[in-house]
């Protein structure tokens, strides 16, 4: 992995980093409170309340929680199945917490994978995600087309013996753009997504469509273009026989000529990165 580059982050990026680490803090706090019998709905509510208490008023999307084989999206056919259910957590079960709060106008979108007690399969999946994080930033720096990078990630997953589960997300995206969101007095949501954020995404989609790019990073033709500068929430999601694992964090893409500066992860001080560094 790349050595932690000490960067002079612009004030704006610092805002994004702040909300991203807040969100991961929330995930760790909620994960520590999970115990057998807690349902997905309760876990989602715990995340929502934790963040509301700390000043989050708007969402890119409301918090999700997936337990057991739902971490691998087993049998998912319609998007409504992403919403938290009454499934109860049991000992040894894997879980994923996924939330996208907006704080002071900055958006974060994170995914946190863990398990209640030891789960060697998920540990293995999490360890193998490291190669994906490296692959993605390397190929973005090479300015490869997003569709090609997607296919390379796919190939790596197949080599590792896993199934691509981000394919189950809307449009099969491995990543999507996030941006600043205007702070309004009320922040309604539509199917779990904040309307302000959806508006931003839609306007990106319209502008991008004219210029030949898309804010959605998918396996389809509309993603057959080099990375667009901006902030991308990248979420590779591995599945292996009823166990899933993902991380999600912001990749900063700039138009700098220096490869190091042209793309970098917003923050390297995140639970999954620390986990790899500790060699677990």
Partner 1 sequence: MAELKGLAGARERWVSTGGIELCVAELGDPTRPTVVLVHGYPDSKEVWSQVAERLADRFHVVLYDVRGHGRSTAPTPLRGGFTLEKLTDDFLAVADAVSPDEPVHLVGHDWGSVQSWEFATVRRTEGRIASFTSMSGPSLDHFGHWIKKRMARPTPRRVGQLLGQGAKSWYVYMLHTPVLPELAWRGPLGKRWPKILERMEKVPAGDYPTPSLPSDAAHGAWLYRDNVRARLSRPRADAYAHVPVQLVLPLGDIFLSERLYDELELWAPGLVRRTLPAKHWVPRTRPDQLSAWISEFVLANEEREAGVPAQRTKATGKHAERFGGQLVLVTGAGSGIGRATAFAFAEAGARVVAVDRDTESAARTAEMAQLIGAPQAWAETVDVADEQAMEKLAEKVAAEYGIVDVLVNNAGIGLSGSFFDTTPEDWKKVLDVNLWGVIHGCRLFGKQMAERGQGGHIVNTASAAAFQPSKALPAYSTSKAAVLMLSECLRAELAGQGIGVSAICPGLVNTNITATARFAGVDAEEEKRRQKKSSRLYGLRNYPPEKVADAILTAVVRNQAVVPVTPEARGAHLMSRFTPKALRAVARLEPPL
Q: Which residues bind partner 1 (CB under 8 A)?
A: 120-121, 124, 158-161, 163, 219, 240-241
Question: What CA–CA distance (Å, rounded) separates 263 from 233?
Answer: 13
Question: What CA–CA distance (Å, rounded) separates 43 from 38?
Answer: 7
Burial of 45 (0-12, 13-18, 19+ CB in 10 A): middle
Question: What CA–CA distance (Å, rounded) separates 16 from 35?
Answer: 31
Q: How far is the CB of 57 from partner 1 (least distance, A)?
A: 40
Question: What CA–CA distance (Å, rounded) separates 89 from 93?
Answer: 7
Q: How far is the CB of 234 from partner 1 (least distance, A)?
A: 21
Which is closer to partner 1, CB of 5 or CB of 158? Answer: 158
Which is closer to partner 1, CB of 92 or CB of 271? Answer: 92
Which is closer to partner 1, CB of 120 or CB of 212? Answer: 120
Q: How far is the CB of 190 from partner 1 (least distance, A)?
A: 29
Burial of 31 (0-12, 13-18, 19+ CB in 10 A): buried
- Are 116 and 89 a contacting pair, CB within 8 Å? yes
Q: How far is the CB of 221 from partner 1 (least distance, A)?
A: 10
Which is closer to partner 1, CB of 120 or CB of 229? Answer: 120
What are the helix and strand counts (H, E) for the chain? 7, 14
- CA dihedral 247→128→224→177, nearest 10 degrees, is 10
Which is closer to partner 1, CB of 92 or CB of 105? Answer: 92
Q: How far is the CB of 158 from partner 1 (least distance, A)?
A: 6
Which is closer to partner 1, CB of 129 or CB of 273? Answer: 129
Q: How far is the CB of 182 from partner 1 (least distance, A)?
A: 39
Q: Phi-psi bin for 68: left (phi > 0), alpha (psi -120 to 50), beta? A: left
Which is closer to partner 1, CB of 160 or CB of 261? Answer: 160
Residue 39 in 3-state DSSP? strand
- Are 233 and 227 a contacting pair, CB within 8 Å? no
Which is closer to partner 1, CB of 134 or CB of 151? Answer: 151
Q: Name 238's bridge partners.
A: 164, 245
Q: How far is the CB of 121 from partner 1 (least distance, A)?
A: 5
Q: How far is the CB of 109 from partner 1 (least distance, A)?
A: 26
Question: What CA–CA distance (Å, rounded) separates 137 from 94?
Answer: 27
Residues 6+ apart with CB under 8 A from 198: 190
């Amino acid at each position: 992995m790349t050595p932690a580059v000490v960067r002079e982050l612009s004030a704006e990026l610092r805002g994004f980093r702040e909300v991203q680490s807040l969100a991961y803090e929330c995930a760790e706090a909620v994960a520590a409170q999970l115990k057998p019998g807690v349902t997905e709905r309760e876990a989602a509510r715990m995340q929502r309340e934790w963040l509301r208490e700390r000043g989050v008023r708007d969402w890119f999307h409301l918090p999700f929680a997936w337990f057991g084989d739902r971490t691998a999206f087993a049998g998912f056919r319609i998007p409504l199945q992403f919403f938290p259910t009454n499934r109860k957590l049991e000992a040894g079960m894997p879980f994923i917490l996924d939330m996208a709060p907006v704080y002071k106008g900055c958006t974060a979108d994170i995914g946190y994978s863990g398990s209640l007690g030891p789960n060697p399969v998920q540990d293995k999946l999490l360890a193998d995600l490291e190669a994906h994080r490296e692959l993605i930033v390397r190929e973005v720096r090479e300015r490869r087309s997003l569709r090609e990078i997607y296919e390379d990630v796919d190939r790596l997953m197949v080599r590792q013996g896993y199934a691509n589960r981000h394919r189950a997300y809307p449009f099969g995206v491995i990543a999507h753009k996030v941006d600043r969101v205007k702070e309004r007095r009320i922040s309604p949501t539509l199917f779990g997504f904040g309307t302000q954020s959806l508006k931003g995404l839609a306007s990106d989609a319209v502008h991008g469509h004219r210029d030949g790019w898309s804010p959605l990073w998918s396996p389809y033709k509309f993603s057959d273009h080099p990375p667009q500068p901006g902030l991308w929430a990248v979420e590779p999601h591995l599945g292996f026989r009823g166990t899933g694992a993902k991380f999600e964090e912001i990749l900063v893409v700039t138009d700098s000529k220096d490869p190091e500066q042209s793309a970098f992860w917003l923050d390297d001080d995140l639970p999954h990165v620390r986990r790899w560094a500790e060699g677990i």
